[in-house]
């Protein structure tokens, strides 16, 4: 709730992404059923998403992909335009385009993952507050993060992390020796990760595959390269997300 007793914009965004905890989602739905102001905002959010998917996205997809393929300078311009578009449409509409996806076989070439491809969303909790983790978000030690993924046909997933000290960890399955199986549909992964006190940029890697990947193989390749991911056998697609961890 915000100071006026209504659902916050972030709560509505997370609800649209099915990223709220079950209890929080029930509370939000209950509030919507009795609050005309929030119900209107909820309806507008869904209408914006529908308009974006029906009219804006089909017209801009070709140019987005073409600019992304041109290299980092074009990608920077695209990212700047996208950051302007996100607040106007809300996080749910922005979900039509996933975070950066690097298909196996490409080398350090940005690619915009479109709706239908594997995707990963990160949600943070700080105390009683939940918020989506966007590219470049600032988090703190003891924040808890959890993951919502859409496998888009992939059968297994391994999520690794490289913290500000360069230390590699496996977040899903936590400290696991290999990838974990996924359900077929969009899902929230079990458990959450409490961030430690290491500050600086932290990069998350979500490796989708059709067969289990060995953690040692993934760590070995990541220890050599941070962006060149085509050397990991069996990776179907890799999704990367980066945030910054500030001092407590």
pLDDT, tens digit, for every residue of 12-42?
A: 878 877 777 778 888 888 888 888 888 888 8
The answer to whether residues 119 and 84 belong to one domain is no
Q: Kindly report the CA angle at 88 between 49 and 58, in degrees rounded to 5?
A: 45
User: Domain for residue 188, yes or no?
Assistant: yes
Q: Does 107 fall in a domain?
A: no
Q: What is the pLDDT of residue 28?
A: 85
User: Are 119 and 218 part of one and the same domain?
Assistant: yes
- CA nearest 108: which of 68, 159, 136, 67? 68
128 inside domain: yes
Convert the pLDDT of each residue in 213-224 to its tens digit. 999 999 998 888
In a domain, 4, yes or no: no
**Domain around 59:** 9-95
Residue 98: per-residue pLDDT: 39
Last residue of some domain: 60, 95, 130?
Answer: 95
Which of 29, 61, 95 finishes a domain?
A: 95
Distance from C-alpha of 123 to C-alpha of 246, rounded to nearest angstrom: 17
Q: Which tops the pLDDT comparison, 113 or 184?
A: 184
Tell me the pLDDT tens digit for each residue of 201-241: 999 999 999 999 999 999 998 888 766 666 688 898 889 99
Say whether both 82 and 153 belong to one domain: no
Same domain, 91 and 119: no
- In this predicted structure, the answer to whether residue 115 has a pLDDT above a threshold of 80 is no
Is residue 199 domain-resident?
Answer: yes
- Asked if the peptide bond before residue 98 counts as cis, ω within 30 degrees of 0, the response is no
């Amino acid at each position: 709730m915000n100071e006026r007793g209504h659902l916050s914009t972030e709560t509505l965004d997370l609800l649209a992404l099915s990223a709220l905890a079950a209890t929080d989602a029930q509370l939000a739905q209950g509030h919507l059923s009795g609050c005309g102001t929030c119900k209107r905002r909820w309806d507008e959010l869904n209408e914006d998403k529908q308009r974006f998917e029906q009219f804006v996205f089909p017209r801009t997809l070709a140019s987005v992909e073409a600019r992304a393929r041109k290299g980092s300078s074009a990608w920077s311009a695209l990212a700047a335009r996208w950051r302007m578009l996100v607040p106007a449409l809300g996080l749910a509409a922005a979900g039509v385009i996933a975070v950066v996806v690097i298909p196996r076989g490409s080398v350090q070439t940005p690619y915009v993952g479109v709706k239908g491809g594997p995707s990963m969303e990160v949600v943070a909790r700080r105390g009683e507050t939940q918020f989506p983790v966007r590219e470049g978000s600032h988090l703190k030690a003891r924040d808890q993060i959890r993951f919502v993924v859409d496998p888009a046909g992939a059968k297994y997933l391994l999520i690794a992390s490289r913290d500000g000290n360069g230390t590699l960890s496996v977040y899903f399955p936590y400290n696991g020796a290999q990838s974990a199986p996924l359900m077929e549909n969009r899902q929230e992964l079990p458990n959450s990760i409490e961030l430690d006190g290491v500050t600086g940029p932290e990069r998350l890697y979500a490796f989708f595959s059709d067969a289990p990947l060995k953690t040692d193989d993934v760590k070995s390749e990541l220890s050599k390269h941070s962006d060149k991911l085509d050397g990991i056998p069996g990776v179907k697609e890799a999704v990367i997300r980066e945030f910054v961890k500030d001092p407590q």
